[in-house]
Amino acid sequence: MMHALAVVLLVAGGKPQGSKDAGVGLGEQAPLEVLVKAPEELGYKAVTERQYLLVTLLVGAKAAWDRQAWDEAATKWEAALRLPALPAEVESAVRPFATAARERAGGKASSVPPLTASPEANPTSVTITMEPPELKEKKQLVEVSGTVQGGGTHGPGGAVVIFRRASGSTPKPKAARVRAVVQKDKRFVPHVLAVPLGATVEFRNDDDFFHNVFSISKPNDFDLGLYKSGAQREQVFNTPGPVQLLCNIHSSMNGWLFVSDSPWFGQANAQGKFTVKGVPVGEWEVEVWHEWANQSSKQTVTVSASMGELSLSVEGDRRAPAFVPDKAGKPRQPQLGY
Amino acid sequence: MSRLLFCATLLLGAFASAQDEVVEVPEGSESDGYTPDEAQAAEPVRLTGYLDVGFAKATGNGSSFLPSDGRVPLDYGSDAFAPAVNSRGEVASTDATGRFTNGFLPRSVGLGSRPSFLLNTFSTDVRVQPRSLPLFLFARVQVMPRFSASGDATRLELQQAFARYSPFKAHELAVFLGRFDSVFGIEYLETEANLRLGITPSLLARYTTGQGLGAKAFYRVQVPGLWSAFSLNAAATTNGTRIEALVPVSQSLTGVVVGSARLGYELNLQKVQVKAGVSGLYGPRNDVKAGPARQLAFAGDLRVTAFGVSLAGEVLRLIDEPSASAKFTGTTVGELATGFDVTGGWVRLGYTLPVTTPALTSATLYGRYDHRRGHFVGFPTLVTDRFTLGARVDVYEVLALKAELLLNRELAGAPTVDNDVFTSSVVFTW
């Protein structure tokens, strides 16, 4: 979402003139230089970037309003109103301005996004704003939680749980924010990360030496080249499925991304516990992918408001390969350590 | 008809609508990923290995020795290593008539000219990585069953056994102690059947791919801004870098270690990788017990991979000073420790086809050219070369199917002999 809105900002506002009055220069600094050295810091970074984006939009919109650039101001306020779980006081302050700006720009006030949050709303339920309103009203969204068992000696941690409609096609996910995988102490952190289709993942080198992150998992294969300590590279993942992450310099490094083609997915913690939020009631096929399973497991479940905890399982029958390939696919001998 | 069209339009519309449906990922639903504890992430003990079976057919009598050749020593006048049939460099045959040789011989599988199936190698690696310690233990045990009466005996070999210590997280330094691979050149990196792109080693592998007992250290430093790295790999070992058929590898006959090293350069660009190096070796000959005879070698190597094309090559110059004492090889004791020098090189070009399926993980065609000029002091210079054509197909990441044709030529110093080889190999990695 942040990434998409940043694009909207740039397209709508054009190239900022660099003056403080314009108030749009802030947005060019994203993504923020917030170091992530541990998994729990990823969430912190996401919250920080979200708040930063909100402030950037509000400041930029007001600056555009003051310049009587009505369309630009309306676009930015509308973008702010589309942010999920927008605090109610922000929404109430912004909406009149957004409506006025859109009208002055020659548009209709109805183009301003509808209310997306209220203080009474269940904070764990999220409105699916891209769906037609009439469909939305019929659906009840459920927070599904449960436990994954299996994964062999490695345990269930990192298992990815994906919900797809049992009949009919499942909507595609809208990639909301840039995700991060950090290289630290010759490891990928997090080791396994589930992302939605179309997600941008940034790979940042927090080690004191170079890394060359790549994958030969077709068709999501990529090669970021060599980059130094503190630098980061981005990659967009447009094909669903597992992506093994490797480093061309350090054969001991490996990690995984799982690209989900469904917006409803979650990931198990070390104890196997997972939560998938906002799942519409109905019949679903649930897939569980695990890096140490040769095959994903699948089962059909019925999601309802009264459902209990799900109990899922996945194999742990995959052996680590004897060799680790370099980016040309040539096997490397891990015992050499180089 | 129009009703049918109307229904079809409705169906297509519904299908398109469903296909285009996009839903935001519910806020808070995306996890921050999972990272196991460092100790939990690494498997403390791992067993891996491979089984290499093959089928080979050599022309002539399976050796490089002409039946009518009466020169002595017979192995000084021919390249006995030319008709190789497997990744260990074992040949289809050596001379079975009892003519005099001086121990400059490969191991043989004893096929002669008969087409035969081979059980080349059963290899097991044991890796032990104690949790939370910068220590790594490794051992490789190999079984080479040789069923032919005229082939060399069945062997069980502890090919490698070493401890690796990596004291720093922020520096790429690794220190090894034990019996380990050579550090000289690049061909030692793919001596094993499941690692080697093709099947057979080059005509120079006998000098560079042996194991030694001792200590070595690897250090790599990266160069900011140049996408580059320099590395030094240095070893002090009992043996130099020759294979075990030519010298005793786990003992020093003189009590003085042999030093060897490779200085490497790496250029790491997107989709393009260049590696180059120079290697050197100096120390006493390890096939004689007395005297000051030394061995000296230096080499250059280059590897380039880009867009499915791989180019690799190596040039070598090696000198053995003469000694008056007897010569101890890995298999026998010879009469003469003759002065010897060799110059040669090989270059290999491979192309990996851009076709992969879940079953077919890789398919590569390759060709290699080897050239070797060997000279035993007091004997004619022997010049040979070899053209190798081959293909490798990898299936399900555990099975490699390989086929190779070796066309050997004697250019000078040896009679022309029919010693070409067709060989194939199936390698199952577990």
Per-residue pLDDT of B18-60, as tens digits, reads 445 788 888 777 778 999 886 566 678 889 999 999 999 999 9
In angstroms, the CA B336 to CA A118 distance is 96
How far apart (Å, rounded) are the C-alpha atoms in residues B110 and B91?
A: 8
pLDDT (mean) for B326-339: 87
A267 touches chain B (CB under 8 A): yes
**Cβ separation A228–B35 shorter than 8 A:** no
Q: Is B88 exposed, middle or buried (0-12, 13-18, 19+ CB in 10 A)?
A: buried
Closest to B198 measured CA to CA, from B325, B37, B367, B77: B367
CA–CA gap between residue B161 and residue A252 (Å, rounded): 20
Q: Do B30 and A43 touch (CB under 8 A)?
A: no
> Which residue of B34, B170, B397 is in closest CB contact with A267?
B34
Q: What is the mean pLDDT of residues B190-206?
A: 95
How close B161 comes to chain A (CA, Å)? 11
Flag whether pLDDT at B113 surpasses 80: yes
pLDDT at residue number A135: 45
The 3 state secondary structure assigned to A209-242 is: CCECEEECCCCCCEECCCECCCCEEEEEECCCEE
Q: What percent of chain B has pLDDT over 70?
A: 93
Identify the pLDDT of residue A115.
57
Residue B21 is assigned to a structural domain of this protein? no
Helix A88-104 / helix A70-82 crossing angle, nearest 10 deg: 150
B33 falls within a domain: no
Residue B3, in any domain of the structure:
no
Where are the alpha helices (H) located in chain A, listed in sequence order?
A: 2-13, 39-66, 70-82, 88-104, 133-138
* Prediction pTM value: 0.74
Find the CB nearest A190 among B19, B32, B305: B32
- Report d(CA A41, CA B3) in Å as an integer: 59
In this prediction, residue A139 has a pLDDT band, given cuts at 50, 70 and 90, of: low
**Which of 223-252 (B) contact A at CB < 8 A?**
224-225, 227, 229, 231
């240095």: which residue's tokens? B234
DSSP code for B59? S
If you measure CA to CA, which chain B residue comes closest to A83?
A: B27
Mean pLDDT of B68-84: 93
CB-based burial of residue B45 (10 Å sphere; 0-12 exposed, 13-18 middle, 19+ buried)?
Answer: exposed
Give the pLDDT score at A40: 63
Write out residues 399-418 of B within 8 Å (CB-CB) of A.
Answer: none
B-chain CB neighbours of A274 within 8 Å are 31
**B270–A173 C-beta distance less than 8 A:** no
Q: With a CB-CB cutoff of 8 Å, which residues 227-256 of chain A face chain B?
A: 228, 248-249
Distance from the A274 Cα atom to the nearest Cα atom in chain B, whole angstroms: 9
How far apart are the C-alpha atoms of A72 and A78, rounded to whole Å?
A: 10
Rounded mean pLDDT, B217-243: 91
- Please report where in the chains the tokens 């037609």 appear, as a residue: A132
d(CA A105, CA A246): 50
DSSP string for B246-313: TS-SSS-SSS--EEEEEEEEEEEETTEEEEEEEEEEEEE-TT-SSS--EEEEEEEEEEEEETTEEEEE
Interface of B with A in 334-363 (CB under 8 A): 352, 356, 362
Q: What is the pLDDT of residues A227-279, one digit of tens each?
A: 888 889 999 999 999 999 999 888 888 999 999 999 999 999 999 999 999 99
Structure tokens at B277: 């190096």
What gap in Å lies between CA B153 and CA A58, rounded to an integer? 82
Residue B23 lies in a domain: no
Average pLDDT over residues A53-81: 85
Tell me if chain A has a CB within 8 Å of the CB of B82. no
Q: What is the tally of structural domains in chain B?
A: 1
Flag the least confident range among A64-68, A221-225, A265-269, B35-39.
B35-39
pLDDT for residue A276: 94
Which residues of A fall within a CB distance of 8 Å from B363?
A: none
Query: Hey, is the C-beta of B310 within 8 angstroms of any chain A C-beta?
Result: yes
DSSP, res B152: P
> In this model, does residue B242 exceed pLDDT 60?
yes
Nearest to A263 among B25, B33, B310 (CB): B25
pLDDT confidence of residue B409: 97
Distance from CA of B338 to the nearest CA of A (A): 35
Taking an 8 Å cut-off on Cβ atoms, the answer to whether A192 and B26 are in contact is no
**Residue in B closest to A1 by C-alpha:** B24
- Domain hosting B316: range is 42-429
Rg for chain A (alpha carbons), in Å? 22
- Residue B266, domain member (yes or no): yes
Residue B371 lies in a domain: yes
Q: Which of A165, A145, A150 is nearest to A294 (CA)?
A: A150
Chain B residue with the nearest C-alpha to that of A259: B30
pLDDT of residue B1: 45
Q: Which CATH number characterizes residue B72's domain? A: 2.40.160.10
Q: Give the DSSP letter string of A106-146.
A: T--GGGSPPP---TTS-TT----TTS-HHHHHH--EEEEEE
Q: Under a CB-based contact definition with an 8 Å cutoff, are residues B171 and B306 in contact?
A: no
pLDDT, greater one: B392 or A141: B392
Cβ-defined contact of B24 to A129 (cutoff 8 Å): yes
What pLDDT shows up at residue A27?
Answer: 45
Distance, in Å, from the CA atom of A214 to the CA atom of A224, rounded to the nearest integer, reads 6
Q: Cβ contacts (< 8 Å) between A331 and chain B: which residues? A: 194-195
Q: What is the pLDDT of residue A129?
A: 39
The whole-number pLDDT of residue B363 equals: 94
Please tell me which residue of chain B has the smallest CA distance to A294. B396
Which helix (H) or strand (E) segment holds residue B333: the answer is strand B333-334
Q: By the CB < 8 Å criterion, does B48 face chain A?
A: yes
Tokens at B312, concatenated: 């690799």
Q: B25: nearest CA in chain A?
A: A263
**Residues on chain A touching B270 (C-beta within 8 angstroms):** 223-225
Asked whether the predicted pLDDT for residue A132 surpasses 60, the reply is: no
Q: Which of A266, A276, A320 sits opposite B46 (nearest CB)?
A: A320
Q: Do B429 and A334 touch (CB under 8 A)?
A: no
Using a CB–CB cutoff of 8 Å, tell me whether A293 touches chain B.
no
Q: How far is A147 from chain B (nearest CA, A)?
A: 15
What are chain A's domains? 2-111 (no CATH), 141-318 (2.60.40.420)
Give how far A296 is from chain B: nearest CA, Å.
15
Helix axes A39-66, A2-13, angle to 10 degrees: 20
Q: Which of B23, B31, B227 sits opposite A128 (nearest CB)?
A: B23
Query: B405 pairs with which residues across the strands?
Result: B389, B422
**Dist. CA B96–CA B150, nearest whole Å:** 8
Closest Cβ–Cβ partner in B31, B35, B224 for A189: B35
Contact by Cβ (8 Å): B298, B288: no
For the four alpha carbons of A177, A183, A184 and A190, in that order, the dihedral sign comes to positive
**CB of B405 within 8 A of CB of B173?**
no
Distances (CA, A) of B284 to A47, B207, B258, B281: 66, 15, 6, 10
Q: How many contacts, defined by CB atoms under 8 Å, are there between A and B?
A: 204
Per the structure block, which two tokens stand in for A105?
Answer: 């720009």
- For residue A328, list chain B residues with Cβ-Cβ distance below 8 A: 273, 305, 310, 352
Q: Do A337 and B50 touch (CB under 8 A)?
A: no
Mean pLDDT confidence for A295-306: 93
When mean pLDDT is compared over A53-67, A209-223, B40-54, B335-349, the highest value belongs to B335-349
Which residues, other chains included, contact A195 with Cβ-Cβ below 8 Å and sequence gap of 6+?
Answer: A175, A179, A201, A237, A257, A258, A259, A260, B30
Rounded Cα distance between B374 and B382, Å, is 5
A133 band by pLDDT with thresholds 50, 70 and 90: very low
Name the residue facing B352 among A209, A329, A331 (closest C-beta).
A329
Considering only CB atoms, A169 lies closest to which of B19, B28, B194, namely B19
N- to C-terminal Cα separation, chain B? 61
Average pLDDT of chain B is 90
Query: Do B23 and A130 make contact, defined as CB atoms within 8 angstroms?
Result: yes
Question: Which residues in chain A are closer than 8 Å to B225, comparing Cβ atoms?
Answer: 228
What ipTM is given for this predicted complex?
0.72
B227 to chain A, closest Cα gap in Å: 6
Determine the residue type at B390: G
Residues of chain B contacting A173 with CB distance shorter than 8 Å: 22-25
* Gyration radius of chain B over CA positions: 26
Q: Rounded distance, CA B388 to CA B198, Å?
A: 9
Residues in chain B: 430
Quote the pLDDT of residue B336: 84
> Is B401 a domain residue?
yes
Specify the DSSP class assigned to residue B76: G
| Gap between the Cα atoms of A187 and B33, Å rounded | 14
pLDDT of residue B361: 85
The verdict on B325 touching A (C-beta cutoff 8 Å) is: no
* C-alpha–C-alpha distance, residues B334 and A164, integer Å: 74
For residue B9, is it within any domain? no
Q: Which two tokens stand for residue A118?
A: 């209220």
Q: Is some CB atom of chain B closer than 8 A to the CB atom of A181?
A: yes
